[in-house]
Amino acid sequence: MALKSFKSATAIAGALAGAVLFLTAAPASAANPPYDGCPAWALCLYQDGGGAGSKAIVVPPAAGGNTEIVRLTKVHFLNGTLANDQVSSWLNNSQCQVEFWDDPYGELHPSQIDFTPTWSWGAKGDYGSNTNEYYDNDRLSAVRFYCP
């Protein structure tokens, strides 16, 4: 009987130790690294500053002098949230020039928020962490591409 009680106690102690380790262990996969997962020939818009949070992937037009305006009222982050007036940072992985606009069609008061020239792969903008650019946080409503 003593051997059976010892085995039961050992099994219970082992199960408790495993449960404690499971409950206190850090998650295997924390948040994505900043500006993570933006494919080539895309503009990635991030919901949070510093390239964090959910992202929206916007594919510019083909090269060859094409111009296109993309209204963010039709773009969603991967978490399902509408991107309009919710973008806090961006990464341009295309060769296109990109203009970032608040109200580009003049419904209220159009203003260009930001700009990145052509051939600037990896250019970034961040409105969530720089106090000088804080005013631009969550104002972006359209992007205009020019792709040479």
pLDDT in tens, 65-109: 889 999 999 999 999 999 998 999 999 999 999 999 987 665 656
Convert the pLDDT of each residue in 48-70 to its tens digit. 989 999 999 999 998 888 899 99
Burial status of residue 68 (CB atoms within 10 A of its CB: 0-12, 13-18, 19 or more): middle
Which residues touch 95 (CB under 8 Å, ≥6 apart)? 41, 63, 118, 119, 121, 147, 148
The pLDDT value recorded for residue 83 is 95
Q: Domains plus CATH for the chain?
A: 43-147 (2.60.20.10)
CA distances in angstroms from 60 to 23, 83, 133, 137, listed in the order given: 45, 16, 25, 22
The pLDDT value recorded for residue 84 is 92
The pLDDT value recorded for residue 139 is 83
Threshold 0.75, pTM exceeds: no
Mean pLDDT lowest for which of 2-11, 86-95, 106-115, 139-148? Answer: 2-11
- Other CB atoms within 10 A of residue 74 CB: 10
Convert the pLDDT of each residue in 15-53 to its tens digit. 444 433 333 333 444 456 899 999 999 999 999 989 999
DSSP bridge partners of 71:
142
Is the pLDDT assigned to residue 130 strictly greater than 70?
Answer: no
- What's the token pair of residue 112? 């260009």
**Mean pLDDT across the stretch 119-126?**
93
- Other CB atoms within 10 A of residue 116 CB: 22
